[in-house]
Amino acid sequence: MFLRQIFDPYLAQYAYLIGCQRTGEAIVIDPERDLEPYLTLAAANNLRITAVAETHIHADFVSGAQELAADSQIQLYVSGEGAPEWTSRWAEGRPNTTILRDGSTFRVGNIVLQAIHTPGHTPEHLSYVITDEGGGADAPLALVTGDFLFVGDVGRPDLLESAAGQVGVMEPSARILQEALARALTRWDDFVQVLPAHGAGSACGKALGAVPTSTLGYERRFNRPFRQAIGNPEGFVQEILRGQPEPPLYFATMKRVNRDGVRVTGGRPASLHLDFATATHLVADNAVAVLDTRDSREDFSAEHLPRALHVPLHGPFFSAGAGSYVEESQPILLVSPSAEDAELAATQLYRIGLDGCRGWITLEEWKAGGGAVTRSARVPFPAFDSAMAQREGLILDVRTGAEFAEGHLEGALSIPYTRLRPRLAEVPRGKTIFVHCGSGKRAALAASFLVAHGFDAVHVDGVCEACERIAQAQGVAH
C-alpha cells in the first residue's frame, strides 16, 4: 500500500493519494483543482489514478474531483447522505459515478475503503476507513476524516449559516456534529491513524493543530472538543459555536460551485508576463482588481500602483484576502516581484475559483515604463494616538468579531477584514479611517482596500499587545 499526504500550505489543506502497489491503481481523496501535484506524485511512484473521492462539498477551495472525473476512466465517489440541497448536483447521472451511503464499501486494487456518514460540519460529510487487505490486514490502518475530526480540533458546524447563508442551521448542526463525534468513531481501535483535510491556519476549524496526522487514541485522550462532545454535549454545543472567525467571502462561492459544478479547464492557464502598455490598459479599467503580492507592508506603503490591494503572497492571508476583496468574475492584474511568485499567485487564485488573472508585471517594470505610483499612510501602533483618532476620524478594528468582543479600543467600529466588501457602506466617507488589527497584517489588507475605494485610510501597523493576547488565546491566525 502507498499513502501520501499532499499539503497546500497556503490553504492549510491536505489531500491524500492512496495506491495499491500490486495493481498500480490509486485514489485521490479531496484534491484541489490544480491536479499537477497528484499526477506527478502518482507517476513518480508507478501509480495511475483510477478513482477520486470527496469527503464533503468544500467551502475553501474548488474541488479537483470534477477535473479528474472528466476522464471517463476515473471513477468518482461522492456522498449521497444529507439533505438533497447539499448533494453534488454536478455528478448526478454521470456514468463513472458512485453515490455512497453510510457503510458503503469500494476497492482500489487490494485496498478497501468504507464510507462512514459523519455529519455536522456539513450534512453530507463522509469519512473513509482505509484497510490494506493486500498487506494482509484485517483491521483499518487509517481514517480519512475530512473536516469532521482534525488534530486537536473538530470541524466547525456554522459554515452553512455563516458562509452559505442558510439561516437557523448553526445550532442544529452543532448538535448533529456532537452526536456524530460521540457515535461514529467508537468502533475503531486507538491505533487507527487520523488523516484530516486541514491543519493549522485553515478557517475550517477554530484551533487546528500544526501536527499533520494523529491517531484516534491520541485524539480521544487529548482533543478537547472531541472529549467534550463525548462527555458534555451541551457544553460542546456552546463552546464550538463560540468565537468562530468570520469566513472569507469566497466560501459562499466555493459551496455553490462545488455543489453545482465548475468549468473544467484541463489545468491552470499560464500566467502572462505583461508589457507596460497592456498593464497600463488594465490599470485604467476600474473593473480590474490590482493585487500587489509583495510581502513587505513597509515596501507597499512606500510605493505601489494606483488602486492596488496589498495581498501578501507568502503568508496566511493571500487566499482569504483575495477571496474576500475580488469578485468571482473580476479581471485581475498581479504585481509580483518574480515569475515564480506570479505563477504561485495565479495558482492560488485558480484554486479558489478566481479565473480572471490577466497576467503580471513587476513594480520596477511599471515604474520604468513611466507608470504612476502612490504612497499610503501608515503609522506605527506605539505612536498611534487613539484619542486623537476618535476626535479626527474613525477607528476601524478589522479583527474577528470574537476578538473585538473580548476587548477593543474605545469607540472603534468592528468590521472583520474578510467582511469589509459587503459592509463598505458602514464606513463613513469624509473622515480619516484608522485601520488596525492585532499585528498590522490584516489591517494592511483592509486599509489598502479602503484606499482603492476612495477612502482616506491610515494603516495602523505593529502589535497591539492586548489584541495580540486575545488572538493567541483564541488561536486566531494573524
First to last CA, the chain: 39
> Structurally, how many domains does the chain consist of?
3
Residue 166 and residue 65 share a domain: yes
Examine the fold and report which residue of 227, 260, 293 is the final residue of a domain before the chain moves on.
260
Residue 98 and residue 175 share a domain: yes
Examine the fold and report which residue of 368, 393, 421 is the final residue of a domain before the chain moves on.
368
Contact between 205 and 198 under an 8 Å Cβ cutoff? The reply is yes
Residue 256 and residue 340 share a domain: no
Q: What is the pLDDT along the chain (478 residues), one digit of tens a residue?
A: 999 999 999 999 999 999 999 999 999 999 999 999 999 999 999 999 999 999 999 999 999 999 999 999 999 999 999 888 889 999 999 999 999 999 999 999 999 999 999 999 999 999 999 999 999 999 999 999 999 999 999 999 999 888 888 888 999 999 999 999 999 999 999 999 999 999 988 888 777 888 999 999 999 999 999 999 999 999 999 999 998 989 999 999 999 999 999 999 998 888 999 999 999 999 999 999 999 999 999 999 999 999 999 999 998 899 999 999 999 999 999 999 999 999 999 999 999 999 999 999 999 999 999 999 999 999 998 899 999 999 999 999 999 999 999 989 989 999 999 999 999 999 999 999 999 999 999 999 999 999 999 999 999 998 887 776 766 766 665 5
| Separation between Cα atoms, residue 68 and residue 85, nearest integer Å | 23
Give the CA distances from residue 342 to residues 62, 190, 433, in Å, rounded to whole numbers and listed in that order: 20, 44, 31
Q: Residue 288: its pLDDT value, please? A: 98
| Separation between Cα atoms, residue 15 and residue 38, nearest integer Å | 9
Residue 324 and residue 246 share a domain: no
Residue 196 and residue 288 share a domain: no
Residue 249 and residue 114 share a domain: yes
Give the CA distances from residue 472 to residues 143, 233, 374, 424, in Å, rounded to whole numbers and listed in that order: 30, 26, 34, 28
Tell me, yes or no, whether 96 lies in a domain. yes
Residue 386 and residue 348 share a domain: no
For 400-416, write each residue's pLDDT tens digit.
Answer: 999 999 989 989 999 99
Q: Residue 465: its pLDDT value, please? A: 77
* Helices (H), ranges, 84-194: 159-162, 170-184
Helix axes 233-241, 224-231, angle to 10 degrees: 140
Tell me, yes or no, whether 265 lies in a domain. no
Tell me, yes or no, whether 433 lies in a domain. yes
Contact between 290 and 335 under an 8 Å Cβ cutoff? The reply is yes
User: Got the DSSP string for 177-228?
Assistant: HHHHHHHHTTTS-TTPEEEESB-TT-TTSSS--SSS-EEHHHHHHH-HHHHH
Strands (DSSP E) found in 277-326: 289-292, 308-310
* Dihedral pair phi/psi, residue 471, rounded to 5°: -60, -45
* Dihedral pair phi/psi, residue 123, rounded to 5°: -65, -30
Q: What angle do CA 62, 67, 71 make, to 5 degrees?
A: 160
Residue 392 and residue 344 share a domain: no
Task: State the cell numbers at 65.
Answer: 474531483
Residue 51 and residue 150 share a domain: yes
CATH number at residue 156: 3.60.15.10
N residues, the chain? 478
pTM of the predicted model as reported, rounded to 2 decimal places: 0.94
CATH number at residue 463: 3.40.250.10
Residue 304 and residue 383 share a domain: no
| Separation between Cα atoms, residue 205 and residue 13, nearest integer Å | 12
Q: What angle do CA 197, 198, 204 make, to 5 degrees?
A: 105
Tell me, yes or no, whether 143 lies in a domain. yes
- Owning domain of residue 344: 276-368
For 66-106, write each residue's pLDDT tens digit.
Answer: 999 999 999 999 999 988 888 999 999 999 999 999 999 99
Residue 195 and residue 57 share a domain: yes
Examine the fold and report which residue of 260, 286, 308 is the final residue of a domain before the chain moves on.
260
Residue 79 and residue 165 share a domain: yes
| Separation between Cα atoms, residue 158 and residue 362, nearest integer Å | 40
Tell me, yes or no, whether 452 lies in a domain. yes
Tell me, yes or no, whether 266 lies in a domain. no
